[in-house]
Amino acid sequence: MIAVIRARLRALILWLAITVSCVIIIAWAPQARLLLYKPNPDTPIDLNQPPDSEIPIPKRIWQVFFPPPSTTIIEDGFMHANKWIEMAPGYTYTLVGSTEAEAFLAAHFADRPEIASTCHALKNPALKSDVLRYLLLYIHGGIYSDVDTKPLVRLDAWVPAQKRREVRLLLALEYDEAEEPNPSDFVYPVQFCQWTIAAAPNHTVFARMVDRMLAGLQDVADHQSTTLDKAYLSDFDVVNTAGPVAWTEVVFQLLQEVDRRVKGYGDLMRMGGPRYYGDVSVLPLETFRADYLDDWGVSWRKGRNALVRHFFKGAWKTPPGVR
């Protein structure tokens, strides 16, 4: 009898050990983590999604971080890479720093040395980040977003399933004078956000933007009778050569070419939902800047869908009195 009890006890211990081992393996195996992933309940999986091979925008996430000269670390709470990965099962995630940027430029722009030389000459981390985002999306496509942003819904839900085969460029408004009058801070009555962009590789908007950046930056240096690495770039120079002002002009020109409805900036105001112009999807004001005005005590979203929260921690403007 004692022998039987001992045998059963050994069997029970063995069963418990196997069970615990299986639980540990499931919890730590990367493949199993995908099976255990629980999507955001606000963004259920659409079973009508087309296969990846038919979606022009690749499942890739890009973020760029060039730390300011005073630090080499990322401020705690500044970056939300884990949230990007969580909201994007099946996507690859890449953080691009100086080393990765050098390798990327060498691999893809050997036939255009002016691109690499321009990047090397830039001292402003924000300006260099601006340049790299367009180049990365031009070559690889995918989703670019600044490191001080956080997705609020699954990335597969950004474009309706029935539109995912058609959309090759996804962007949103940053400013709309009709909804948020503040003309002193903006050049145009509508401005496009460039801290979050999704695109298929080789989209013409990036070819145009690259040419615009190279010419604009060289103009700044020529105006100062110096080389780009020694030129002083003001805050306006930053936004007007590679930032949102330049981006807005290039995008607006493209929209006018692909859709006759776009005659002026006023035709892009007061968006209550996504609009489609050729292969471009333009999203409303709040889409990539969720809660921005809420931070200032103003409720403004009007029940519309927000996809990304921007925390605006990437201070890039030149402090007063500094050149």
Query: Between 22 and 292, whose confidence is greater?
Result: 292
- Mean predicted confidence (pLDDT) in 56-85: 81
CA distance 132 to 79: 18
User: Would you give the distance in Å from CA 134 to the centre of its chain?
Assistant: 10
pLDDT in tens, 186-229: 899 999 999 999 999 999 999 999 999 999 999 999 999 999 99
Looking at every residue in the chain, the average pLDDT score rounds to 81
pLDDT of 22 over the 60 cut: no
pLDDT confidence of residue 205: 98
pLDDT tier for residue 75 given thresholds of 50, 70 and 90:
low
Considering the segment(s) 57-310 as one domain, its CATH architecture is Alpha-Beta Complex (3.90)
Parallel, antiparallel or unpaired: strands 169-176 and 142-145:
unpaired
pLDDT of 245 over the 60 cut: yes
Angle (CA) 236-79-106 rounded to 5° is 65
Asked whether the CA dihedral 26, 27, 29, 30 is positive or negative, the reply is positive
pTM attached to this predicted model: 0.81
Query: Between 125 and 281, whose confidence is greater?
Result: 281
- Mean predicted confidence (pLDDT) in 82-89: 95
- Mean predicted confidence (pLDDT) in 107-127: 94
Query: Between 159 and 305, whose confidence is greater?
Result: 159
pLDDT tier for residue 105 given thresholds of 50, 70 and 90:
very high
pLDDT confidence of residue 323: 46
- Report phi then psi at 280, rounded to 5: -105, 135
pLDDT in tens, 120-179: 999 988 899 999 999 999 999 999 999 999 999 999 999 999 999 999 999 999 999 988
The domain spans of the chain are 57-310
pLDDT of 317 over the 60 cut: no
